[in-house]
Copies of this chain bind each other. A is one copy, B any other.
Amino acid sequence: MSKTANSRTIARGAQTEAIKDVARRLIAEKSVSGLSLREVSREMGLVSSALYRYFATRDDLLTALILDAYNDLGQAVERADARVARADAYARWRASARAIRRWATNNPHEYALIYGTPIPGYVAPTETIEAAARVARVLGAILSESRKVEAKGAPKKSKGSDVGRYLELDSLAAIMPGVAPEGYLKALMAWTTIFGFLTFELFGQYVGSAKNLNLMFDRVVDELAISLNLEAP
């Protein structure tokens, strides 16, 4: 078919990656709003119009960077989780949460790119929401494989849970299979708290109330672990 690897298509791929690399560097140095196609082109010894051969618009370039950022974060969390004994749900949770924070503090501008204010006229293509789910999938797996153990507990006297009225049970069941729907809300809350923490930390809302964010984050992670019933084996 057409997917032959002639020198032109590989050159194109390399050039595309080079553009993204330069853009990433500029974003890291300045910020996302300080990124300009002209500066990227200058940096590469190109004329600005040449970049449009690779990215039709500035937003397209940003979309590509967003996708990469999601995958980069997802991969970092996956690896952190993989380094811990599967059976130790608490250790996996803590390692994953710390990996998220480590990535965020090491790449604050890329974090802002994916979890900060959305780009004006930008609507996330389905690929990005797929990539965004990658880190959620790790956390979901931890819960799944933890909950199976105590699944034989009392079936809960629950006074008619109504989670189905406000949550997408199917999507959530796919991410954390085996977890009872009654647990979905706490899972989502924990997820929200982790990223809310990082957003507050990176965007400066904690100044004045916290002084050691490393320690505070660990304490938050522990509190969440308790509310999620995650304990060492």
Assuming the contacts A120-B30, A189-B193, asked whether A207 and B129 have C-beta atoms less than 8 A apart, the reply is: yes
Q: Which residues of B contact A192 (CB under 8 A)?
A: 193, 196-197, 200, 220
Q: Does A34 contact B (CB under 8 A)?
A: yes
Tally of chain A residues near chain B (CB < 8 A): 52
Supply 15 further A-B pairs (C-beta < 8 A) apart from A115-B199, A167-B209, A172-B209: A33-B120, A116-B203, A129-B207, A133-B208, A165-B215, A166-B210, A166-B214, A167-B211, A167-B216, A185-B220, A185-B223, A188-B209, A192-B196, A196-B197, A196-B200
Oligomer: number of copies: 2
- Distance from A61 Cβ to chain B, minimum over Cβ atoms (Å): 16
Q: Does A171 contact B (CB under 8 A)?
A: yes
Q: State the A residues within 8 Å of B (CB).
A: 30-34, 112, 115-120, 124, 129, 132-133, 162, 165-168, 171-172, 175, 185-186, 188-189, 192-193, 195-197, 199-200, 203-205, 207-216, 219-220, 223, 227
- Distance from A201 Cβ to chain B, minimum over Cβ atoms (Å): 10
- Expressed in whole angstroms, the Cα–Cα distance for A203 and B119 within the complex equals 10
Report whether B124 and A189 are in contact in the complex, using a CB–CB cutoff of 8 Å: no
Report whether A211 and B118 are in contact in the complex, using a CB–CB cutoff of 8 Å: no
Q: Which residues of B contact A124 (CB under 8 A)?
A: 204
- Expressed in whole angstroms, the Cα–Cα distance for A203 and B133 within the complex equals 15
Assuming the contacts A197-B192, A200-B192, asked whether A215 and B34 have C-beta atoms less than 8 A apart, the reply is: no
Q: Which residues of B contact A205 (CB under 8 A)?
A: 115, 132, 195
Report whether A118 and B204 are in contact in the complex, using a CB–CB cutoff of 8 Å: yes
> What is the chain B residue whose CB lies nearest that of A117?
B116
- Expressed in whole angstroms, the Cα–Cα distance for A192 and B202 within the complex equals 13
Q: Which residues of B contact A167 (CB under 8 A)?
A: 209-211, 216
